[in-house]
Structure formats: structure tokens, C-alpha cells
Amino acid sequence: MPSALTLYSNGVLTMRAIQVLTTLCLTTFAAVSFAEVSVIVHPSNSATVDATAIERIFLGKEKSFSNGAKAVPVNLESSAAEREEFETKVLDKSSSQLKAYWSKLIFTGKGTQPSEATVSEMIELVSSNPNIIGYVPSSAVTDAVKVVHTAQ
Amino acid sequence: MKLPAFSLCVGLVMPFTAHALDVNSIDINGFGSIIGSMTSDEDENLYGIDDEFDFQNESRFAVQVSSRLSEKWSATAQILARGEDQYDPTFEWAYLSYEATSNLKLFFGRQRFKQYKYSGYVDVGYAYPWLRLPQGVYSVPFSSGDGVGAAYQTYAGDLEVNLQYNILGSTIDDFVPSTGGNPSTIDIQLSHILSLDFNFQQFNFGANFAYIPELSYDILGADPRLQGVFGQNQAGQDALDGLVAQGLISGAIANDVRDLKNDDIEVFTWDLYAGWDNGDVFVLAEYSDQNFSESSLADQESWYFTGGYRFGQYTFHATYGQDKNDASTDAADQLASAVNAAVPPGFQPDSLVGLVAGVNALQNAQVEDSEFYIFGVRYDFDAAVALKADYTTVMDDDNPQREAEIFAVGLDFVF
């Protein structure tokens, strides 16, 4: 990759430099803002899992899937970029708004926050238990899980 | 701090069942507020805040430990230490809960009185924009009680319905009324509290009703001015009995005066709120009304309207409200006019003058007609810590002693 200095030729931004910068910008932008998140369940889970159901399950408001089976949501670790992606795109809340939301429920005995897992743990959990619903970056999806919703 | 690693390990090592994620795990959560506050003038003293900048008065720290005992049963304790109590810890919540169905949860033990929208988490500053909830509504003594409760949650289409019903009793041995006085005991018999809360799209609205069949309150301990009327010194009592015996006042008026002793008060409170929040802009109004049967405790009517704007990590908010307290009895007025009609002022014996003055002081102390503004900013600068600054100004035409400007800055956090 050319260094920043070589992008300039006599003070003029060359065509090549513009191409490189554009590519860099797009790549960075894609990595930060457009990582696609896939919501996943066990392949045998036949329930209808739409955006509303996902939101309710992850906010602790709905505790079962549409087919009546118990629904256990699992979050990605709070350090994962896709966690924030999921929270803003699917739950439509910032992480501090969600913290405030959960503190109301936790400290009044109304609910407990979903457990957390890494991406590999998430695939393992969801593929081994039909009650679990989680999410991973779409690039990490395997045949062992079923994608019910994507957000980007 | 949540301890998911342990429960997840259990899940990964054992054949993973639906409940392995939760059973046998212990959740430790907590919250706290470190708040410094002061009034703008040495004459101003409100909510226990004076013109000396102080970090103790409003700060608090709580730890909650919760353990799932089985698939349906959990045990939870929340221990709260307040700076104003020298961080002497108390159990605000201590209950067993039972998940009867996925919609219905039952609670046994110590729980919060949910009389108002924020009652359940009044001390969790992180959960609301202000540093200090509007005090007209949120300065009631009955925070926790012991008994049973049921919480039911369901959906009717897009409408989320939350119902909560509690039967709670409580004894508070260090209540100080908003009108001042010494700490005194309040005893609340088993009371009924019904809460309704609804969410529909970006709207949240609800109502709370509380009925306390019998509240007793040791006014003699709280207000020494009444010692002459009801205390061990029998002069006031004898004067009252004498007035009745001579037919100068009716037995009913005498009974109203005696009722001020607060040993058998019936209380009914209700509360309505409605808000809208689209994530960026929010508005909320809450109105509350407290009625006491004839007693020395004032009937109270309070409301506020608040609005705010979230701009990235910042939330700017403004609130306006009014508090109106009226005497719940006119015993003092009736007594004074009956006494004056019977014995011309100037010829009244000291015992009568003392009686009238004592009862009158008690009635007047209740009256409040104030309004307030709160302007504040919240800065969510870290994942679970918010920095806040509030300015509050309270105006009371009837009682300049209750007027104050308060500056406060603080950190609210959860873990």
C-alpha cells in the first residue's frame, strides 16, 4: 500500500491517490458501519421470528417463541462491534438507553439481562439448543444455525 | 457485574438445556449516585441541602444479589446505603419471586410501594434524566413495605400491558415530614397498591392507586408544639374537654382536633402519567393526588411536565411543576372561631390560647403552594456511568422559607 506521502505528486492529488483513498474510505466505512448482523436460531426452530418478536424477546418482554417454546436470548459480548450494531438497528436503542432500560427491570425484580457470549460460543450455543436465540456477524454464520433476520 | 461466564460454562460443559443458562447462577448488580449539591444562599435549606457544598446528603450506593433457586423460584436482596444515613445499609428489597407463567410473576417479602411512575427505582439515578426526581411527587415516606405482590405482563396487539398489584404493610421509624420536625414513627397497615402501565409504540402511560386503610403517625414525637395540646401536660386536653362540657364547641370539633394525633388515618393516593419518547425527543407529564382522612398530614396535589432532547451522548432536559398542600381538616379554624365566639379574645385563659395556637400552627404548617423549575444535562460519557448537572429553583409564595435554588452535580452508575 502506498504511504500517504506518495499519494501526492508535486502537491497534486493523483488519480491513483484518489482511487486508493476512496477504497480506503469505503473499506473502513463498511467495516465500521455496515457489518451485517444475522439473528440466528437452532435449525429445528420452526417459530416465526420477525423483527417485532426479536425486539420483544431481547427486551425481556416476550419469553416464548410464536410456537410456544421458551425463548432464551443471548447477547454478544459488550465489546463486540456487532452488539452495538444489533442494539441500534434491531432494538433501536443506544447502549446507554438499554442500560437504563435494563436497570429499571433488574432493580424492580421484573427481569434479568440476557447472558453474553463470544461469536464462537454463540454458534455453539444456538446450534445445540432450540430455545436459544442469538446473533452473530453474517460472515460467521455456519450451517449449524438458521438465520431468521438480518440487519445492516 | 453479571456472571455469565460461569453459567455459560455450565451450559457448554453440560448437555445444554433451556434453563442451564440461568439455574444456579448468581447475579450481582448494583447502582449508585455520587452527588454534590448546595443551595445558593445561607438562608436556603431544602431537601436537607444547605449552602455548604456537600457530597453526602444525596449520594447512595446499592448492591443487589439475585439467585435462581430453581426453574421458577428466585431470591433477591437489594441493600442500599444512603449518605444521609451515614451509609448505614438497609434492605430496600428482599423477596422470593415465583414465575407462575411466562406472563405472571409473584413476589413475597419486602418490595417497593409503587405509587408513582418512578417509585420502583426511585434511587436508580441512572434510569432517569434528573439527578433528583421532582420532589413534590417523589418525597413520600412509604418507599418499601412487606407483603405480597403480583406482576402481569402481556400484549394486546401492539399494546403492551403491565399490571401490578401489591398488598404491603410497613413501619418507618425515622420519618421526617416535609414540613420539618423530629424523626418519628409511621406505621402503615396492609395496603393495596394497583399499578397499570401501558406502552404503545412511542407512548407510555399509566396509573397508580394506593389505599392505606390505617396509617398511624407519632405527631407528638415529631412536633413538640403539640405537647401542650396532646402531650403529658393535660392542660390542652382539659381545656378541650372543658369547652365541650360547657357546650361551647361541639363534640365533633373536639374529635376533629383529637384526630390530629394521627393514630388512625385513612389514605388514598392516585397518580396518572403519560409520556412520549422517540429516542431523540421525550416529553412526560405526571399528576399525583394524596388524600388523608382528617389528620395533621396535608392533602397533597403535585404535578410536573418535563421534556428533553438527546443529542448524541448528551441529554438536555427541562421540567416545570407545582405542589399544592392543603390542610386535610379545618379543625383549627372551627376551634378558633368557636373559642372566640364563646370567650372574647383577651379574656381567654392560657390553656385555651395554647390549645388554639397549637392546633393552628399544626394546620398552617401543612399548607404549601409552590412551583419549581429544573434544568439539567446528562452526559453518558461511558458505558454505564452518566455525569449529570441539575439546577432547581423552588418558589413558594406562602412560605419563603421553603424557597431555594439548588445546584447539583453528580455521577450515576450501574453495574
B217-250: pLDDT as tens digits: 876 666 665 665 555 456 667 777 887 888 877 8
pLDDT of residue B70: 92
pLDDT of residue A4: 41
Q: How many CB atoms lie within 10 A of CB B401?
A: 12
Which range has the top average pLDDT, A16-25, B21-30, B114-123? B114-123
Task: Give the pLDDT band of residue B160 (cuts 50, 70, 90).
Answer: very high
pLDDT of residue B314: 97
* pLDDT over 70, % of chain B: 88
Q: How far is CA A126 from CA A5, B2, B154, B215, in A?
A: 48, 21, 26, 54
- Is a pLDDT exceeding 50 seen at residue B1? no
Q: Is B408 exposed, middle or buried (0-12, 13-18, 19+ CB in 10 A)?
A: buried
Least confident range from A55-64, B175-184, B205-214, B327-336: namely: B175-184
- C-alpha to C-alpha distance for B356 and B353, rounded to whole angstroms: 5
User: What tens digit of pLDDT does each residue of A114-140 get?
Assistant: 999 999 999 999 999 999 999 999 999
Sequence-distant (6+) residues with CB within 8 A of B122 are B112, B133, B138, B143
What mean pLDDT, rounded, does chain B reach? 86
Which range has the top average pLDDT, B109-118, B175-184, B227-236, B350-359? B109-118
B360 touches B332 (CB < 8 A): yes
A23 touches A116 (CB < 8 A): no
Q: What is the pTM of this model?
A: 0.84
Facing residue for B4 by CB, picked from A64, A109, A116: A116
The terminus-to-terminus CA distance of chain B in angstroms comes to 5
| C-alpha triplet B379, B321, B219: angle, nearest 5° | 110
pLDDT of residue A7: 40
Query: What's the whole-number mean pLDDT along residues B120-138?
Result: 93
- Is a pLDDT exceeding 50 seen at residue A13? no
A vs B: CB pairs below 8 A: 99
pLDDT of residue B256: 77
Task: Give the pLDDT band of residue A27 (cuts 50, 70, 90).
Answer: very low
Taking the CA of residue A113 and the nearest CA in chain B, the distance in Å comes to 9
Q: How far is CA B163 from CA A63, A100, B115, in A?
A: 17, 21, 13
Least confident range from A20-29, B327-336, B371-380: namely: A20-29
pLDDT of residue B250: 81
Pure H helices in B291-377: 331-342, 350-366
| Three-state secondary-structure class, residue A53 | helix
Task: Give the pLDDT band of residue B16 (cuts 50, 70, 90).
Answer: very low
A44 touches A131 (CB < 8 A): no
Task: Give the pLDDT band of residue B335 (cuts 50, 70, 90).
Answer: confident
Taking the CA of residue A128 and the nearest CA in chain B, the distance in Å comes to 7
Taking the CA of residue A105 and the nearest CA in chain B, the distance in Å comes to 9
pLDDT of residue B333: 81
Q: What b-and-e string marks burial along B111-145, b requiring 16 or more CB atoms within 10 Å of the CB?
A: bbbbbbbbbbbbbbbbbbbbbbbbbbbbbbbbbbb
Facing residue for A104 by CB, picked from B102, B105, B127: B127
Q: Which of A71, A96, A101 is nearest to A84 (CA)?
A: A96
A120 and B CB contact within 8 Å: no
pLDDT of residue B361: 76
Least confident range from A114-123, A137-146, B59-68, B291-300: namely: B291-300
Q: How far is CA A121 from CA A41, A93, A124, B11, B13, in A?
A: 13, 25, 5, 10, 12
- Is a pLDDT exceeding 90 seen at residue A24? no
pLDDT of residue B19: 40
Hey, CA dihedral for B352, B354, B360, B362, is it positive or negative? negative
Hey, CA dihedral for B218, B223, B224, B225, is it positive or negative? negative
Residue among B315, B380, B382, B385 with most chain A CBs within 10 A, to mutate? B380
Maximum Cα interatomic distance, chain B, rounded to a whole number of Å: 92
